Structure 1
Amino acid sequence: MKLQFYFTVIFSLTSILTRSQELSQLNVEDIYKNLCASCHTSSAIGGSLKDGKWKYGGSDEEILHSIKNGITEKGMVAYSSVLTDEQIRAIVVYIREMESTDSVESTELDISDKVLETRYHTFKVETLTSGFRTPWSIAFLPDGSKLITERLGPIHLISSDNRLDSIPIKNTPKVIFDGPEGGMMDIALHPDYEKNGWIYLAFADGWRDEMGKSWSQTAIVRGRIRDHQWIDQEWIYKSDLKFYMQSGAHYGTRIAFDDGYIYFVIGERGVMGHAQDLNRPNGKIFRLHDDGSIPKDNPFIETPEIPKGIWSYGHRNPQGLTIDSNHNVYATEHGAQGGDEFNLIQKGKNYGWPIITHGINYNGQPITSITEKEGMEQPLVHWTPSIAPCGLTQYIGSLFPNWQNDFFVGSLRAQELHRLRVINKKVVDQEIILKGIGRIRDVRTGPDGYIYLLTDEPARLIRLVPSEKKGE
């Protein structure tokens, strides 16, 4: 049996090394099929790599070590002389991604009648309304009604008794949406909304040229709604037109307020290197005064050519942003294939993309072999396989007292709701509290103390409701 194993490995190595295509050009799926698959099925000598059961250590570092250095006593050869460090890292991520496939595909969308038990609370899921197409964000008005943005541009009003108004808000900003991203995105009320009426929107601003091609960039405006009309619009952030791009990817964006400041996100727009280029707005988190003016204590205020609103950089595509009661800024960020992140955002810091990452390219090509580097921040949590985090809130209500101050992260790909407990700026407890309700686009703590979720497949607004009896 061991002789057969060696023969299979040697044959695979010879096959891959004698291809006309350079080894460096192979994607991770090709490498896995040629070097790993024949020995790692459930019935093969090496056992399955999809079931999460590991004999020689299951951490990323331990798996990487096994691939690189081999396991001599079991007949597994070392691949350090065959594969680059980047390719070995890519195989680790590819294996992690395979582990998640079954669970993602088997989720259930209808759990409205179930009582769900978690570590600290028992609850039910209550569907409030549907009828929109591609919802992105929700904001709560003082009278109990709600505003919901939709990717294609409309802003919908939902009454206090959760009825969807058939007429969208008129005269809202025109948006660019060619798919898969962009359009109308986040919506947020000014902290003093009851006094000033300001509502903030984040969206893909731009135009179409004479060939019909769109040019766009993330932008922020504020305005008011009166009699179903968007009025009094003011620009809060609009980049120089030279930074508008034809890319339809990675607009990022969420909005958060703190002590007179507005924070918002611009993704790297699908060009990895832009995240490290401080002369560009892409791949950055911004901090401005809530009227759009630039704070004098921003980190790059004295540096020529750098946009003065930049607060942090090295981001790929964050789509979750919130600020706790101690003024700490937190964000969730989409990695590539693997390497999704939950970060503590600090003034002037570099978050590493794409120089360091736990992920690989979607085409299977490695991005880098390193996951940390001096001068670059590490995430508090990273998810591999990817969950595609979207929406982030810190719970500050009274209906779920044992979740007080915990963070809740939505997930598009894994269709999950994650709970994270942070103490002294470290994640000390994690739990998946909900799974199988569709792609979670937004997560909010409502003013009534419920946790609200906005899903886009299917498109609906739901909330978590406490249940006193277990198993009812």
Structure 2
Amino acid sequence: MHRYISLATLLLIFLVAGSAAAEPYFSPERTEPVENIRTTTLLTGLEHPWAMAWLPDGGLLITERTGRVRLLKEGELSTIPGAPEPLVYGQGGLLDIALHPDFEENRLVYFTLSTGTESANHTALARARYDGKRFVDAEVLFTASPAKSGGQHFGSRMAWLPDKTLVLSVGDGGNPPQRVDGMLAREQAQNPASHQGKLLHLKDDGSPAEPPAFAAQSAAPGLYTMGHRNIQGMAYDSLRGTLWVSEHAARTGDEINRIEPGRNYGWPKASWSKEYTLPMDVADHHSLPGMVDPVVVWKWRFAPSGLLVYTGDAFPSLKGNLIAGGLRSETIRFIELDGNGTVLGDRNLNMGHRVRDIRQGPDGLIYVLTDEDDGRLIRLEPR
């Protein structure tokens, strides 16, 4: 029996061991349009709407970044008083909204918002009880640290997991030359002692969920994943038992990531993004050992916000697909996945408006909010 390995075998082992992970799916700027969908505008005149959530009685709650919560019920639009008061500054304000999984018993509604001052602000998680007419007992449960200045990159999406804990996104703090605690704000995404540029895993009272995804004593409380720039789309996938996020890069290089607790997603050390002000890449690498590569990359300026895993029956051909909204692109992308979550392709729906949020309604139809002074609520229906 030979006790040596041939040169060809050694070369094969080297190539397999050293080969890079599979590249992400690069979503083309021009692709086939999605067919058999029509759009119906249900509301206009919303002031920079950001998120929506359905009440069990069919009413629809809509947050406006300026601080209001609107209720659309039986065709009538009203304002619900008592919501937590945000710092309205730059990209900050009253942002995401979600009902507690046991809402019918406890009547609790959760919000994300920016708090503090223009020179020292935070992404925060708050909740209030909805008594049918107003929000009462509003309280801030969690505040990300450290404080940052400026009005950029609050992140601020949340998603409930099956165990009734929630995941909250916090942005990296801002673009250069923005600094936090003496370092460029974007570098906070690689600082495990900071909440910025992270996903956080929290109990429904705002305390860190157990067990911690990062065991190091220096890790910020609640740290779930790190290496993110500014996640503004998040959706739990009940079909595959996983969590998806869509996040802004700088100029091009926006991503969709599949979340694994305790992992590092690269920003700003590994990225497909380019600088806003210089003709150069943000990172020296697209991929690095020990960091998770994105599932989807837009090499053009998509600017994702709002993400949905479609599970309804109104659009049978879309079941199990990811549906991602684009702000700068003013489009929606329908991303086809196989049963394991591998991307098979994507199609496009031009909206002509900045898409801020996408949700599936109780009727199985798809609802869209547009981020404008004259914001809209649009319903996607089978043609």
- Would the TM-score normalized by the shorter structure come out above 0.5? yes
Partner of 2:344: 428
**Cα distance between partner residues in 2 of 1:223 and 1:174:** 11
**Cα distance, 1:154 vs structure 2:** 0.8
2:65 is the counterpart of 1:126: no
In the alignment, which of 157, 179, 187 is matched to residue 273 of structure 1?
187
Code of the residue aligned with 1:283 in structure 2: it is G
CA contact (8 A) 2:254 2:303 kept: yes
2:323 is the counterpart of 1:413: no
2:73 is the counterpart of 1:159: yes
- 1:300-315 equivalent positions in 2, closer than 5 A: 300=214, 302-315=215-228
In the alignment, which of 196, 215, 230 is matched to residue 106 of structure 2?
196
Q: How many residues align?
A: 341
Q: Give the match's secondary structure for 1:131.
A: strand
**Cα distance between partner residues in 1 of 2:270 and 2:37:** 39
2:162 is the counterpart of 1:248: no
2:165 is the counterpart of 1:261: yes
**Cα distance, 1:330 vs structure 2:** 0.4
- 1:153-232 equivalent positions in 2, closer than 5 A: 153-161=67-75, 163-165=76-78, 168-179=79-90, 181-207=91-117, 213-232=118-137
CA contact (8 A) 1:386 1:413 kept: yes
**Cα distance between partner residues in 2 of 1:235 and 1:178:** 18
**Cα distance between partner residues in 2 of 1:291 and 1:329:** 21
Post-superposition CA distance 1:429-452 (Å, at most 9, x none) = 2111x1033000000011111000
Which deviates more, 364-373 or 380-389?
364-373
CA contact (8 A) 1:130 1:164 kept: no
Q: Give the match's secondary structure for 1:274.
A: helix
Q: Give the match's secondary structure for 1:188.
A: strand
Code of the residue aligned with 2:341 in structure 1: it is K
Which deviates more, 251-260 or 361-370?
361-370
- 1:19-58 equivalent positions in 2, closer than 5 A: none
Code of the residue aligned with 1:444 in structure 2: it is R
Identify unmatched segments of 5+ residues in structure 1.
Answer: 1-95, 104-116, 208-212, 468-472
Post-superposition CA distance 1:137-156 (Å, at most 9, x none) = 11111111111111111111
Partner of 2:307: 392
Q: Give the match's secondary structure for 1:337.
A: coil
Post-superposition CA distance 1:316-354 (Å, at most 9, x none) = 001000111133010000010010000001111101000
Greater share of residues in strand: 2
TM-score (structure 1 length as normaliser) = 0.69
TM-score (structure 2 length as normaliser) = 0.85
CA contact (8 A) 2:165 2:202 kept: yes
Partner of 1:344: 258
**Cα distance between partner residues in 2 of 1:319 and 1:193:** 24
**Cα distance, 1:118 vs structure 2:** 5.1
**Cα distance between partner residues in 2 of 1:338 and 1:380:** 15
Partner of 1:111: none
**Cα distance between partner residues in 2 of 1:415 and 1:395:** 20
Identify unmatched segments of 5+ residues in structure 2.
Answer: 1-25, 175-184
Q: Give the match's secondary structure for 1:219.
A: strand
**Cα distance, 1:365 vs structure 2:** 4.5
**Cα distance between partner residues in 2 of 1:177 and 1:357:** 30
In terms of Rg, which structure is larger?
1
Greater share of residues in helix: 1
Percent of pairs with identical residues: 36
**Cα distance between partner residues in 2 of 1:215 and 1:277:** 19
Which structure carries more relative contact order (alpha carbon 8 Å, separation 6+)?
2
